[in-house]
Amino acid sequence: MSANNNEWSPSSWRTKPIAQDVEYPDQDNLNRVLDKVSKLPPLVTPGEIERLRYQLAQVQNNEAFLLHAGDCAESFDACNQEAIAHKLGLILSFSLILIWGARMPVVRIGRIAGQYAKPRSSATEKIGDRVVTSFRGDNVNGLDPDDRTPNPERMLSAYFHSSTTLNYLRGLLSSGFASLHLNQPRDWSLSHVQSPALQQEFENILDGLSDALEFSRTIGQDRSKSYEHGGGRDPLGEVDLYTSHEGLMLPYEEALTREFPVPSGAHVASGKTPAKAHYNTSAHFLWIGDRTRQLTGAHVEYFRGIRNPIGCKVGPSMQGEELVRLLDIVNPDKEPGRVTLITRYGAGKVEEHLAGHIQVVKASGHPVVWVCDPMHGNTHTSASGLKTRSFGTIISELTSCIRIHTENDSRLGGVSLEFTGELDDKGFSVTECVGGSMELCESNLPLRYQSFCDPRLNFEQSLDVAFLISNHYKQERRALRKGKQNEYEEDVVYSALGGLQSRSTSRIASRAGSPPKAA
C-alpha cells in the first residue's frame, strides 16, 4: 500500500477539486439526508464484493468473459416488476449465448439497482425556448423542467429504489428465474424476438443445452434434483449477478462506505491481505466516468481507497502516461481483478488510441481487465433531433477492439453496453438505436423512444451483438482445437462481422412483408 493511502478516508475527497459537482441550496437538509443514509444498512456485502474481485481476476486470466450492461440511467418510474424482470431476462439471454459460443463462464454486472446519477457536458440545457439546469438523473433533480433544483431527498429515494430493485433481483434469482432445468430461458426471451431466424438461433442453443443436461443426468453429473425440490444451491439454477453504477455522487457514496473486516479467503495476490478495509456497500462495482477521472480530482481520491473492484472509462483524450499514473494511484499493489479499463473512443478513433494504451499498460506491469464500450463514443443526433447510435458503428468499434487486442498480444475481456429488455404494454421494444436485424431506421425512432438519457439497444439488437461475440469466440475455440491458430489470426477476426451480416440478411428475408415489431 502506498504511504499516501494512510491519509485516505471516506471523506478525504472533500479536500480535492470536484468535477460535475452538485450544489444544494439547503445544506442543513443535505446533511440530515446524508446522516440518515449513513445509518441505513449496506445494499451489498463484503463477501459478495470479494467474490466479484476474484471473478474479475479470472476474466483477466482469460478464464471468463465480462458482460457489463444495462441502462444509461435508471429512473424511479421504471422501477417496477415487469421492467426489472425484462432487464434480467435480457442479461441472462445475452450471457447464455456467450457461454454457449465461448464455452466460458460469463461474469454479469448490471448497470442496475443504483444507476441514477448522470454527468453532463453542460450545466444548462435548452427545452423549447427555456434554458434550464440540466437533468442530472433521478438521484439529483427531476426530468420535469420545473423540477431542476437539486433536492437531497432524492438520494434517500435512490437508496430505497436501489434496495427494492436489488431485493426483487435476488428474489427472482433465488427462486428459479435463471434455472435452465425449469426451462426458463424460453420465457426470458422468445416472446421478445420477432425475427424467426433469430428465434431459431436461440432455440438451437436451448436444444443443445437440453441435450447436454440430459447427457449429464444420464451419467449422473446432474445436481438439479436438489434444486427442484427446494434444496441446495445449483450452479445452473442460481447465477451470480452483480450491481454497478457510476460513482459520481460522492456524498452518497461516502455515506454508504463502511469499514469491515476483510472476509477470510479474500483473494489478495500481493499477499498483503488487510485485516480491515473500506467497502462501498451501495454496489459491487463502481466506475469513474470519462468526465471525472482527473488524477488530482475528488473522484480518483475517493476511488483509490475503496476495496471494491472499480472501472475507469478511457476516452480519446486520455494520454498514455496519464493512464499509467491513474493505475498507480488506484492500484498501487497491482492486484488482479481490482481495475477494469472500459475503453470508449468511438469507431473512428479506436485505431488511433487503443494499441498505444495497451502497450503502455503492458509496459507498466499493471494487471487490468480490458472492456470495450462501443456505445459512448458513437452517439449522434438524428435528423428529427433524437440522440441515437447506429448498430453498424457499434459493431465496427467492437470488431476493431477485438482485432487490435489480438494484434497487440492482448485480449478483450468483456463488453460494456447500454441495452434494455423493456417492452411496452403491447409487447413492443424500444426504438432508440438504428440498424440491427430489425433494420430500424431513423424514421422509426420516435415510435417508442423511451430513454431520457443515451439511446439503448433493444432486446433484438442486443441479441444480435451477443451472437456476433459468441460466434467470434466459437470460431476461435474451434480454430484452436484444430491447432490452426495461424489460419485463425488471418481470417477469423474479420469473419465474425461477415457472419452477422449474412444472418441478418436471412432473418430479414424470412420475415419479408411483416413490419418491424417496433412499428
Neighbouring C-alpha atoms within 13 Å toward the C-beta of 307:
28
CA 323 to each of CA 210, 336, 348, 384, 476: distance values in angstroms, whole numbers, following the listed order = 46, 17, 21, 38, 30
CA 519 to each of CA 426, 429, 430, 466: distance values in angstroms, whole numbers, following the listed order = 11, 9, 10, 24
The answer to whether residue 248 forms part of the interface with ligand PEP (CB under 6 A) is no
The answer to whether residue 290 forms part of the interface with ligand PEP (CB under 6 A) is yes
What is the residue whose three cell numbers read 476461435? 476
The answer to whether residue 155 forms part of the interface with ligand PEP (CB under 6 A) is no
Q: Which is nearer to ligand PEP, 195 or 420 (CB)?
A: 420
376 is in an annotated binding site: yes
Quick note: the x/- pattern for ligand PEP over 386-425, rule CB under 6 A, is ----------------------------------------
418 is in an annotated binding site: yes
Quick note: the x/- pattern for ligand PEP over 39-78, rule CB under 6 A, is ---------------------------------x------
Cβ 453 to Co ion, closest distance in Å?
Answer: 6
111 is in an annotated binding site: yes
The answer to whether residue 454 forms part of the interface with Co ion (CB under 5 A) is yes
Strand partners, 313: 342
DSSP states of 236-297: TTS---EEEEE---HHHHHHTEEEEEPPTT---TTS---SEEEEETT-SEEEE-TTS--TTS
Q: CB–CB of 70/111 below 8 Å?
A: yes
The answer to whether residue 306 forms part of the interface with ligand PEP (CB under 6 A) is no
72 is in an annotated binding site: yes
Q: Which is nearer to Co ion, 6 or 121 (CB)?
A: 121
Cβ 310 to Co ion, closest distance in Å?
Answer: 18
Q: Which is nearer to ligand PEP, 376 or 507 (CB)?
A: 376
What is the residue whose three cell numbers read 477470510? 264
Of the candidate spans 391-399, 449-457, 465-473, 491-499, the one that interacts with Co ion by CB under 5 A turns out to be 449-457
As given in the structure block, the three cell numbers for residue 300 are: 480518483
> Under rule CB under 5 A, how many of the chain's residues touch Co ion?
2
As given in the structure block, the three cell numbers for residue 421 are: 429488455
Q: Which is nearer to ligand PEP, 375 or 492 (CB)?
A: 375
Quick note: the x/- pattern for ligand PEP over 72-101, rule CB under 6 A, is x-----------------------------
3-state secondary structure 167-211: HHHHHHHHCCCCCCCCCHHHHHHHHHCCCHHHHHHHHHHHHHHHH
The answer to whether residue 119 forms part of the interface with ligand PEP (CB under 6 A) is yes
The answer to whether residue 245 forms part of the interface with ligand PEP (CB under 6 A) is no
**Kind and range of the H or E run holding 97:** helix 81-102
**Total H helices, total E strands in the chain:** 14, 14
Q: CB–CB of 417/463 below 8 Å?
A: no
The answer to whether residue 344 forms part of the interface with ligand PEP (CB under 6 A) is yes
**Kind and range of the H or E run holding 406:** helix 391-407
Cβ atoms within 10 Å, residue 384: 11
What is the contact surface with ligand PEP in residues (CB under 6 A)?
A: 72, 119, 289-291, 313, 344, 376
Known binding positions for Mn(2+): 72, 376, 418, 454
Known binding positions: 72, 111, 313, 344, 376, 418, 454
What is the contact surface with Co ion in residues (CB under 5 A)?
A: 72, 454
Known binding positions for phosphoenolpyruvate: 111, 313, 344
